[in-house]
Amino acid sequence: MRKTLPAVPAALLASLIAFHGLVPNAGPRLGSLIETFLPWLGIGIPLLLLLALLSKSRIAVIATVLPVIAWVAVCGGKLVDGTGTPFDLAVVQHNLSDENPDPAGTARTLIAADADLIGVQELLPENVAAYDAELGARYAYDVAHGTVGLWSRYPIVESRLIDIRPSSVDDADWNRGLRAVVTTPQGNVAVYVVHLPSLRLGLGGFGSDRRDESAALLGDVLTAEQLDRVILIGDLNGTVEDRGLRPITDELNTTGRGFAFSWPASTPVARIDQIMARSLSVRKVWTLDRTGSDHLPIAARLMF
């Protein structure tokens, strides 16, 4: 019994990685918290191996294989970055930050990605001209609603606000979602640019109530979308593994390749900025150089 006891933590870690969806999410949203930082559970593996070696338990050493297998099965695909895959569209997503001191420099970083579509959040009215002065030379079409905006190489034939405001927000100026129709060489695509509410991690747990409500509203909009081809560009304040975003991830797909951690920019630990699609495949996702924002920009290649 004493020899097998050190193997128990390895079995527990493997179970947590493999079956994270079974962790209850009521109250403090523990399930969402674990899913947000799911790849980082792998840090426990070398620690368990060290514990097993110190215990001199052969069973414990062998047991550390279990969380390795679980981690590779769940997160291993992200080690493949998808370099060299063919694509039809390149897309950039960036939360500009309403405290960004260098809009022009930020715009130049986004331009360097040579994307077809650039979706942004926290676009302040007083900064629109500065971004457009840089982006307008390469992107003939643009639209902004509230604090979200889209620049496009291809014609934007229509656009409107979408309502994803949670019920607890009574600010009439809280407009964080737009829908545009872009005419690409392959046909019309519905492009959504969104910014879901922020999370708050505190003594009460993972404060995702407003984010989850906004995600549900967006999920309803996506379900009702008549165009078959859809691209979502957004700061979702959550990873695609987070069950709170399930109303969105049930409708759209993204790539399992590349971690592309985007937040916080100084020490990225999670990709809460997303590029997702329907009737297109997301082939590759990666981060761009740091800007004056607290988020890193991300870019993706999509294929019809």
HSE value, Cβ hemisphere, 13 Å, CA-based, for 33: 16
The reply to whether 193 and 123 lie within a common domain is yes
Which strand (E) or helix (H) includes residue 210? helix 209-224
What number is the average pLDDT over the span 224-238? 98
Domain assignment of residue 143, yes or no: yes
Question: What pLDDT, in 10s, does the model give residues 213-228?
Answer: 999 999 999 999 999 9
The reply to whether 136 and 181 lie within a common domain is yes
Residue 69: predicted pLDDT: 96
The reply to whether 204 and 75 lie within a common domain is no
Give CA–CA dist 6/163, Å, rounded: 52
Q: Are 62 and 276 in contact (CB under 8 A)?
A: no
pTM confidence score:
0.94
Instruction: Kindly state the DSSP code that residue 198 receives in the 8-state scheme.
Output: P
Domain assignment of residue 73, yes or no: yes
The reply to whether 109 and 228 lie within a common domain is yes
Domain boundary among 52, 79, 106: 79
Domain boundary among 79, 106, 133: 79
Residue 53: predicted pLDDT: 87
If you count them, how many residues does the chain have?
A: 304
Domain assignment of residue 84, yes or no: no
| Structure confidence at residue 56 as a pLDDT band (50, 70, 90) | confident
Full domain range(s) for residue 70: 7-79
Question: What pLDDT, in 10s, does the model give residues 182-200?
Answer: 999 999 999 999 999 998 8
| Structure confidence at residue 55 as a pLDDT band (50, 70, 90) | confident
The reply to whether 256 and 285 lie within a common domain is yes
3-state secondary structure of 10: helix
Domain assignment of residue 181, yes or no: yes
Token digits of residue 216: 């549900």
- Residue 130, pLDDT > 60, answer yes
The reply to whether 53 and 115 lie within a common domain is no
For 235-261, the three-class secondary structure string (H helix, E strand, C coil) is ECCCCCCCHHHHHHHCCCECCCCCCCC
3-state secondary structure of 43: helix
Q: Are 92 and 119 in contact (CB under 8 A)?
A: yes
Domain boundary among 18, 49, 79: 79
Could you give the number of structural domains in the chain? 2
Domain assignment of residue 187, yes or no: yes
The reply to whether 35 and 182 lie within a common domain is no
| Structure confidence at residue 6 as a pLDDT band (50, 70, 90) | low
What number is the average pLDDT over the span 59-87? 88
Q: Which of 81, 140, 102 is nearest to 287 (CA)?
A: 81
Domain assignment of residue 1, yes or no: no
What number is the average pLDDT over the span 129-152? 96
- Residue 207, pLDDT > 90, answer no
Bridge partner residues of 91 (DSSP): 117, 300
Q: Are 41 and 33 in contact (CB under 8 A)?
A: no
CATH number of the domain enclosing 210: 3.60.10.10
Q: Which residue has the higher pLDDT, 96 or 50?
A: 96
3-state secondary structure of 166: coil
The reply to whether 108 and 224 lie within a common domain is yes
Domain assignment of residue 139, yes or no: yes
The reply to whether 152 and 30 lie within a common domain is no
The reply to whether 142 and 233 lie within a common domain is yes
3-state secondary structure of 302: strand
Residue 19: predicted pLDDT: 96
The reply to whether 286 and 172 lie within a common domain is yes
The mean pLDDT of the chain is: 94
- Residue 31, pLDDT > 90, answer yes
- Residue 291, pLDDT > 80, answer yes
Domain assignment of residue 218, yes or no: yes
- Residue 2, pLDDT > 60, answer no
The reply to whether 123 and 179 lie within a common domain is yes
> Helices 103-111 and 128-135: crossing angle, nearest 10°?
30
- Residue 290, pLDDT > 80, answer yes
